[in-house]
Amino acid sequence: MSRLAKLKKFVLDDHRYVFLTTSVVALIGIWFSMRPRSPMSFLRGAYGLEVAMYWFLMAWLAVSLFALVWKLTHWNGDAYQKTCPLTKPRAKTITRYCSYVVCLITLILFIDRAVMGFLWVVSTSLAQDKNPSDPLSSIVYMLDKSHGIIEQGILTTVALSVFGTTIAFFLAILLVFIRIQEVDRSDNDFVRFLKRLGLEFAKGYSTIVRGTPMMVQAMLIYFAGFGILKNSGMTVGEIGKVWSTFVAGLVTISLNSTAYMMEVLRGGIEAVDPGQNEAARSLGLSQWQAMIKVVFPQGIKNAIPALSNELVVNIKDSSVLSVIGVFDLMFATKTVVGIYFKQVELYIVAAFVYLCLTMCASWLLGRFAKHLSVEPQVLNSVSDMDSTVGTIDGLGNSQYSLNKTRKTHSRDKL
């Protein structure tokens, strides 16, 4: 049963909660009824109907107050259910249908006051020749005149976040593989040196990147790249074609996310039962093959929820790239602020857009992670074992059924 179904069943099972919830709805409806009507209101010519709806909501509040007082005075045991006149079967049916009417009245008033009022504000704001003083009208006016700038900023933010996170994912896989390498007995001195060097490099990279702000990293990467290309003899125009602010921002997000995703992947891989690697090696796989074919797929699946969060973080943190001139949503917002000198209104719009982007990304990635967490990992054996199975329980833990298969194999021999 879904959460919504459980809540609905919980509310409908006890009619006291009907009074509690619909009294709040009635208060909202009364508040809307006291709001001024807009010229687009469809209740302007129905004054009598609106008065009747208002008093119906007031009567419902009075009935709810009566039920509350009766409950407070008959608190012990089942006294309320046995003595209150509203608990009789016919009264419960009537109150339930009245609660539906309360919700319908509130919905009508919401559409008339809020929706139609907003449509009126939009229509009047679009017809203005200058920026209105009213905050809502001003937001509509500025968005209409500057929607191209805002749209370009949104597209840039999404592109930086998606491509930067994707690139960082593959770089993180490479670095985490380097970091978890262990010296094998068959390795010669040169291979041992490379493994230790790669381990220290991965540790140092993670420490430096995670210990410095992304804003500082963006400025260092952009101006360092610009200085290198300028010293090579390129003009400013030529540098702009090769090393644009967008490219520098993409490199910054990719390198920054790589450090965090590497640690997430390392944690996911370490959560895999060591028996998985031992079983793979016992089947004749090398250390490289065991990591690529057995350990890495399960470790990545364990880390998918945390890896998904990195995209959400990058959507928000990409706003700091405006310091190097990346035309993202924050830079676009600052541009419009410089045109109309309306800071609060436009930053509210930017915050709302960032919230929508992060919520959409969280919802999509949550469904993706939920879909992947139900698939088991199977390592087929070339021996007479049935299978070597590693299952993911969705919490970053893995269970290895090697003992079970060994027992089955021994029983078959007997």
- What pTM, to 2 d.p., does this model score? 0.74
Q: Residue 113 — very low, low, confident or very high, per pLDDT cuts 50/70/90?
A: very high
* Residue 227 shares a structural domain with residue 366: yes
Whether 155 shows a pLDDT value over 50: the answer reads: yes
Q: Which helix (H) or strand (E) holds 179?
A: helix 147-179
Edge-to-edge strand order for the sheet containing 388-392? 377-379, 388-392, 398-400
Q: What span, in angstroms and rounded, lies between the C-alpha atoms of 67 and 233?
A: 84
Asked whether residue 327 is assigned to any structural domain, the reply reads yes
Asked whether residue 135 is assigned to any structural domain, the reply reads no
Structural domains of the chain, count: 2
Question: What confidence tens digit (pLDDT) does each residue in 220-263 have?
Answer: 999 999 999 999 888 888 898 899 999 999 999 999 999 998 88
* Residue 250 shares a structural domain with residue 198: yes
**Of 127, 157, 192, the domain-final residue:** 127
* Residue 194 shares a structural domain with residue 95: no
Question: What confidence tens digit (pLDDT) does each residue in 125-142 have?
Answer: 888 888 888 888 999 999
Whether 396 shows a pLDDT value over 70: the answer reads: no
* Residue 212 shares a structural domain with residue 93: no
**Of 69, 93, 127, the domain-final residue:** 127
* Residue 155 shares a structural domain with residue 103: no
The whole-number average pLDDT for the span 100-105 is 94
Quote the DSSP letter at residue 379.
E
- Determine the pLDDT at residue 386: 38
Annotate 127-150 with b (16+ C-beta within 10 A) or e (fewer).
Answer: eeeebbeeeebbbbbbbeebeebb
* Residue 340 shares a structural domain with residue 224: yes
Q: What span, in angstroms and rounded, lies between the C-alpha atoms of 276 and 291?
A: 10
Asked whether residue 283 is assigned to any structural domain, the reply reads yes
Q: Residue 407 — very low, low, confident or very high, per pLDDT cuts 50/70/90?
A: very low
Asked whether residue 381 is assigned to any structural domain, the reply reads no
- Determine the pLDDT at residue 162: 93
Q: What's the distance, CA 348 to chain centroid?
A: 19
Domain region containing 205: 147-375
DSSP string, 185-201: TT--HHHHHHHHHHHHH
- Determine the pLDDT at residue 274: 75
The whole-number average pLDDT for the span 346-363 is 93
* Residue 221 shares a structural domain with residue 337: yes
Domain of 164: which CATH number?
1.10.3720.10
* Residue 8 shares a structural domain with residue 108: yes
217: its two tokens: 């990293």
Cα 128 to Cα 141, 143, 147, 220: the distances in Å are 8, 13, 16, 45
Asked whether residue 138 is assigned to any structural domain, the reply reads no
Three-state DSSP string of 391-402: EECCCCCEEECH
* Residue 225 shares a structural domain with residue 187: yes
Asked whether residue 380 is assigned to any structural domain, the reply reads no
- Alpha helices, H only, 40-146: 47-73, 79-83, 89-110, 116-126, 135-145
The whole-number average pLDDT for the span 334-349 is 92
* Residue 352 shares a structural domain with residue 204: yes
Asked whether residue 256 is assigned to any structural domain, the reply reads yes
Question: What confidence tens digit (pLDDT) does each residue in 181-203 have?
Answer: 776 666 677 878 888 888 889 89
* Residue 349 shares a structural domain with residue 209: yes
Asked whether residue 161 is assigned to any structural domain, the reply reads yes
Evaluate whether 110 touches 32 at the Cβ level (below 8 Å). yes
